[in-house]
Structure 1
C-alpha cells in the first residue's frame, strides 16, 4: 500500500485548508452581479471560438482573439473548436485509462502496493488513489445561491472518490522544483504514445488560447506563452468507478484549478458541472469537435481578477447512472472488454515554476489598482504549493 501521512500531518493540513479558504488576499474578487440581481447565462450564450480562422490567419482572426478575451472575462470559459484535436486520439486515450484505472484499483483494494503512487512527490506524477484529494471549503461563496445553482457536493468537503493520473507534458528546466520523474505503468506498451498523442493536442490548444487571449487583451502574442515555456503541464485524467459508487457520490468536489488554463476533452459520460462568472451552474455538454477551456487561479492572479478562476465539480448523478446503464448494455452486447469507468480528459496548462504571477502592469487598463492589491506577489511554484497544502496532497517539506 502507499504510505499515508500521520494524523498530525492531516490535522496540520486541515488547519492550512481552513486558513487558506478564509484568506482573502489571493482569491477575493466578488463575482457580479449578485445571485439575486443576475440574469442567468447558459452554455448556449457562450460563442464558439473558431481556432482554424486564427491558425490560418483567415479574415476575422482578430475578431476571434477578441472573442477569447470577452469569453474569459464574461464567462471564464472557452468553447474551443480546434481542428488539431483529433477525436480518435481522445478515444484511444480514454480506452487505455479505463483499463488502467480498473486494473490499478483492483490491486489497491486487494491491499497490494501501488508502485505508481508517489506521495513523496505530492502526487504530481503517477497515480493518486481515491479519497486523497479534498477541495477547499468554499461554502461562504455559494451559501446564498438559488438551489438550482448550488453545488451538489457536500460542505465541508468530503474526500473525492475519483482516481487521478499525472503525466508530465513537455520539457521542464533541470533546476525546476516541480521536475519530478515520469512514471510509466507496467503492462501498457502504448502508454507513452497514447498519452503524448492526446496530451500534445490539449497542450497545443492551451498555448493557442493563451496567444489569442494575449492579442485580445492588447499584449504581444507571446506574453503568456513565453511564461508557459518549461511549465509543469500535466495531462491529468481522472477515473471514477461507476460500479463501486452510485448516485450522489462526489467524484470531484466543488473547486477551481491551480492552472493558468485547464483544457477538457469530451468525456463519454455526464457528471461535470461548471459555474459561469455570474454563478449560473451549467451541466457541461461539449459540442462535437470542440474542447472546453477553463481559466485557473493563476490566470486570475495575473489579471487581478479580470479573468476569474472557473469553479466546477464532478458528481455521480441520475444522468450519469442512465448513461452508465446504457454503456453496460453495449459492453454486454458487443462482448467488449471495456470497463465501466467515467474517465475525464483534462490537461493543466501551467506557468513555469519561477514566473512571477503578480498582477501584470501591462494589463492595468483592465483592472483597478485597489483590486490588484488583493493578489500578493508570488511565483507559480509558491502558488502551486499553497494550493496543494490546501487540498491535502502536499506531503513533502519544501
Structure 2
C-alpha cells in the first residue's frame, strides 16, 4: 500500500510498503497488490524516484554502517589513497575528492538545453569543476566467472585496520540490494512486463555499495566555492558537494544520511529537497532503467549542496561531539555487464525507442559513461 510520506519541503512522495510483495513467496499477486505495483511503476515514470519501506532493512544496520564509514573517511588523505584503483576506473576502492566530473561540466551545451526547460526557481547550482566528495566502491553480491568487462567486476579492496569492514559492508549492501530487487520486480509487473524482466538481467550485475564522504568541517559553509565549483545565478546558495547529474546504473537506493542536502528533480522539472522518512529508503531511476523502458522512465537528476538545513545539522553534530563527515548510504544496482540494454516488451514499440536506445551491452554503456565523467581513462 502506498501512503503519504512525511512532508519533505515542496511535495511529499508516497511511501510504498514492500511487505505484501515480499510475503508472496512465489504465489501470484492479488488484484490489490497488482494495483500497488502499477502505482509504483507510475510513480517512477512520473517522478523518477520513490520512497519504500522494507521490513528487512532495520535503521540500526544503517547506523552501524554510517558509524564505520565516518571513521574511515576521517582518515588522512594519504591513508585513504592506498585504496584508490584508478586503473580499474575507480569501480572498487576509494575515489578521492576532485576526481569525478559532473556531466554538466564536461557537456555544458547539452546541459544548457536541458536546463532551458526548467523554471528559474527550479535551476540547480551548477559547478565548474570536479566534485568535492570522496566515494568508496564496494562490490555487492557475486560476479560472473567470465565477462568481457573485467574492470567492472573486479575483486574488492579492503582497508587495513577495520576488522569489521567486510561484515558490515556485505550486510548493509545486501540489504539494500534486496530492497532494489523487490522494487524492480514490482515495477516490472506494474509496467505489464514479466516479474523477472528486470531482476533476471540484474543477476551477477556489478552492484556497488557506494557511500560518499563529504568533509563538512572543511566544506560546510554556505555560499563558499570549492573544487572549481561556482554558484549558478538561479541556484540555491550553497557549496556543491555533488554536482547536478544522473546515475548511470539501473536503480540507485539510499538509506538515511545524518546531514541533509540532497535534492532531486521530478520528471515534470520540479526541484524537491529530499528528507527520507525514518525507516524508509529512497530509490532513484538510473540510465539503465531509462534504456530498458525506452525513455518511459527518465534517469532522475539530482545534486547535493550545503543548505541552511545542512549548516544547522553541522552545528548540532559539533555540539554533540559527533563526526561532521556527511556519509551517504547508497547502493548502485546494475544490469549485468554482458547483458544487452534494449527497450523491453511494449516499450520497444514506442516511436523512436530503438534509435534513441540501440542494443548496447550494459558494460559498454557503463564504460562510456565513466569516460565522460573522467573516472575511466579514454
TM-score bin, normalised by smaller chain = 0.7 to 0.9
- Following superposition, the deviation at residue 82 of structure 1 comes to 1.1
For 2:311 and 2:119, the matched residues in 1 are separated by 25
For 1:203 and 1:274, the matched residues in 2 are separated by 21
User: Residue 256 of structure 1 aligns with which residue?
Assistant: 246
For 2:353 and 2:146, the matched residues in 1 are separated by 34
Tell me the secondary structure at the aligned position of residue 360 of structure 2.
coil
For 1:143 and 1:158, the matched residues in 2 are separated by 21
TM-score of the pair, normalised by structure 2: 0.86
User: Residue 334 of structure 1 aligns with which residue?
Assistant: none
User: Residue 170 of structure 1 aligns with which residue?
Assistant: 141
For 1:374 and 1:359, the matched residues in 2 are separated by 10
For 1:292 and 1:285, the matched residues in 2 are separated by 9
Alignment of 1:128-139 (within 5 A): 128-137=95-104, 138-139=111-112
Count residues in correspondence.
340
8 Å contact from structure 1 (residues 239, 341) kept in 2: yes
Alignment of 1:1-398 (within 5 A): 42-44=10-12, 46-57=13-24, 60-103=32-75, 106-108=76-78, 114-137=81-104, 138-154=111-127, 157-176=128-147, 177=149, 178-245=152-219, 246-247=221-222, 248-331=238-321, 338-364=322-348, 368-395=350-377
User: Residue 6 of structure 1 aligns with which residue?
Assistant: none
Give the gaps of 5 or more residues in structure 1: 1-40, 332-337
For 2:137 and 2:362, the matched residues in 1 are separated by 18
Q: Summarize deviations over 1:312-354 as a string: whole Å, max 9, x none.
A: 00111222111111111011xxxxxx42100001100000011
TM-score of the pair, normalised by structure 1: 0.82
For 1:79 and 1:386, the matched residues in 2 are separated by 30
Tell me the secondary structure at the aligned position of residue 332 of structure 2.
strand
For 2:372 and 2:328, the matched residues in 1 are separated by 23
8 Å contact from structure 1 (residues 237, 346) kept in 2: yes
User: Residue 107 of structure 2 aligns with which residue?
Assistant: none
Label 1:75 to 1:113 Cα distance change in 2 as closer, same or farther (>3 A).
closer
For 1:288 and 1:62, the matched residues in 2 are separated by 26
